[in-house]
Structure 1
Amino acid sequence: MKITALTENTSAFGLPVEHGLSLFIEVNGRALLFDTGQTALFADNASRLNIDLRDVDICVLSHGHYDHGGGLERFLEINSKAPVFLSRYAFEPHFNGERYIGLDTSLMDSDRLVFTDGVTKIADDMTLYSCNEREKKLDLGSFGLNAEHSGRLIPDDFRHEHYLLIEENGRRVLISGCSHKGIINIVDWFKPDVLVGGFHFNKLQPGARLKALAQTLASYDTDYYTCHCTGVEQYEYMKRFMPRLSYLSAGGRIEVGV
């Protein structure tokens, strides 16, 4: 399995960057796009990397925030065949404080969209899990992120987020966009061999709390490739306690699950 970061907050390879995430995944003869970043930059960077998005077989949006689904319209223009899997809650209004950070609702009636909930098998070796009914080992709150329900803003419970489990060669690789339901919970639920995605720690300052979280993650038999909402400063601090932690920047390519 090969995973290439098309869009991420940082780049060690000279590519343009933005606050967002888009991953191109090659597995078992298929091409999958996981998230579309904030803008059409993911498509521009794909061209720079000689990746043809017309060949994508499956697209997954991890949750209903603009920095993961903002490029959806561009993807639908480029690719005429791939179904797009997203939570049935993804188009609900989402906010950072009172600032709208949701998806473009004009796209919600596209016949390319496949709305999911619970557990959804999208291929023999790929399954989406919402985990909405699972008990949390640790709840760090919503970090100021809200959802609109019955005309008022309340702390987001992130029911619109799901996780992609890929099983290859007897190993379990979990792809997560922002891990809003809590990276500790997610690792505890799945206990994957490999986890790729953001930890949503960028609002936590290096110190005792972040150290404890890093040590908890390190206690699992998991290799981590993090990015995006983890925060570079937070990553560098956590790396001191997590020898199996690496960072995936825009243009970076890793091979996992082998």
Structure 2
Amino acid sequence: MKVKATVLSENSVFSNLGAIAEHGWSVFLETDHGNYLFDTGQGKALLNNAKVFKKDLSSIKGIILSHHHIDHTGGLLAAVKAVEAKTVDVFAHPDLFKEGYLVRMGYKYIGVPFSRVDLESYGANFKFNTEFAEIAPNVYLTGEVPRLSDFEHGDTDIVQQTEEGYIQDQVMDDQSIIIKTEKGLFVILGCSHAGIVNILNYAVQKTGENRIHTVIGGTHLWCVSDEQKEKSIQALKELNIERLGVSHCTGFEVSMSLAQEFGQKFFYCNVGTVVKV
């Protein structure tokens, strides 16, 4: 399996005239078994950057969503409309349409900005999963990742609305892509709400492949305690990752620490970054 990933949405952009950045995450994924779109950013950058980098959204076989937050689902309607076929599979957790809010921004709504009915009327064919699932040969979705580490804790500023009021959202819908290649695993993270160490350990456990070649995406380490940052970085070093390309919700401070620890194995994964395995 050979794969090529091009970042279409991320918080920063460098030396790519015409491309724009936004607080979000989206990756155009080219595999031996077709093209996929992983997340859609906030929706401000997707179509523009796909055009800039000559990525044909009409060609995608499926849209994969890491979780329900708007910085990953805001471009979903545009992506569905762009697909040439009358329908397109949208892989997601069944909690996709729950009501999520961000406390630190005054209980701002951060869920999917479209209704399921509207998305389906334009051709979205939702395929929900909670378990580890193979969506194409050697291409897997983690489903719900077991939270086993004793130092990875959720973001307490994220809540969901229920009939009983607001409760902390554990973001159980968080899932990542795992691709088995000849060189080892290629893991594409969304925001790592399940914990990046939990995710990578689960990827090894479910695939039986202990070589982690490349990891890209958001680590959600910017807002955690110093203790969690230190323990996470140490655990990542012990996993012997060949290439680590962080982005989005990692934060500059943690990115610099990872760059120091991983040296030549580290890179920042911003808009226009192309990763081949």
Between 38-47 and 147-156, the greater mean CA deviation after superposition = 147-156
1:38 to 2:39 alignment: no
Cα distance, 1:242 vs. partner? 2.2
1:217 to 2:219 alignment: no
Residues 39 and 71, structure 1, Cα contact 8 Å, conserved in 2: yes
State percent identity of aligned pairs.
27
Counterpart in 1 of 2:64?
60
Cα distance, 1:121 vs. partner? 2.0
Counterpart in 2 of 1:178?
191
Counterpart in 2 of 1:5?
7
Counterpart in 1 of 2:208?
none
Between 55-64 and 144-153, the greater mean CA deviation after superposition = 144-153
Query: Structure 1 residues 158, 79: CA separation in 2 closer, same or farther (over 3 Å shift)?
Result: same
Between 177-186 and 148-157, the greater mean CA deviation after superposition = 148-157
Aligned partner (choices 120, 133, 136) of residue 120 of structure 1: 133
Cα distance, 1:10 vs. partner? 0.6
Give TM-score, length-normalised by structure 1: 0.91
Cα distance, 1:237 vs. partner? 2.3
Query: Structure 1 residues 29, 126: CA separation in 2 closer, same or farther (over 3 Å shift)?
Result: closer
1:186-207 CA distance string (max 9 Å, x none):
12222433222110012247x6
Whole-angstrom distance in 2 between the partners of 1:80 and 1:113? 17
Residues 95 and 145, structure 1, Cα contact 8 Å, conserved in 2: yes
For these two proteins, the number of residue pairs brought into alignment is 255
C-alpha RMSD of the superposition: 2.0
Aligned partner (choices 96, 99, 103) of residue 108 of structure 2: 99
Cα distance, 1:156 vs. partner? 1.1
Q: How does 1:8-157 map to 2 (within 5 A)?
A: 8-14=10-16, 15-81=19-85, 82-97=88-103, 98-108=107-117, 110=120, 111-133=124-146, 135-157=148-170
Residues 215 and 244, structure 2, Cα contact 8 Å, conserved in 1: yes
Residues 24 and 32, structure 1, Cα contact 8 Å, conserved in 2: yes
1:229 to 2:245 alignment: no
Query: Structure 1 residues 189, 16: CA separation in 2 closer, same or farther (over 3 Å shift)?
Result: same
3-state SS of the aligned residue for 1:92? coil
Counterpart in 2 of 1:249?
270
Whole-angstrom distance in 2 between the partners of 1:124 and 1:239? 33
1:50-98 CA distance string (max 9 Å, x none):
1111111121011000000000010111114331111101111111112
Q: Which runs of 5+ in 1 are unaligned?
A: none
Q: Which runs of 5+ in 2 are unaligned?
A: 205-211
Between 97-106 and 164-173, the greater mean CA deviation after superposition = 164-173
Whole-angstrom distance in 2 between the partners of 1:171 and 1:133? 22
1:11-68 CA distance string (max 9 Å, x none):
1133210000000111115111100000141111010111111111121011000000
Whole-angstrom distance in 2 between the partners of 1:96 and 1:152? 14
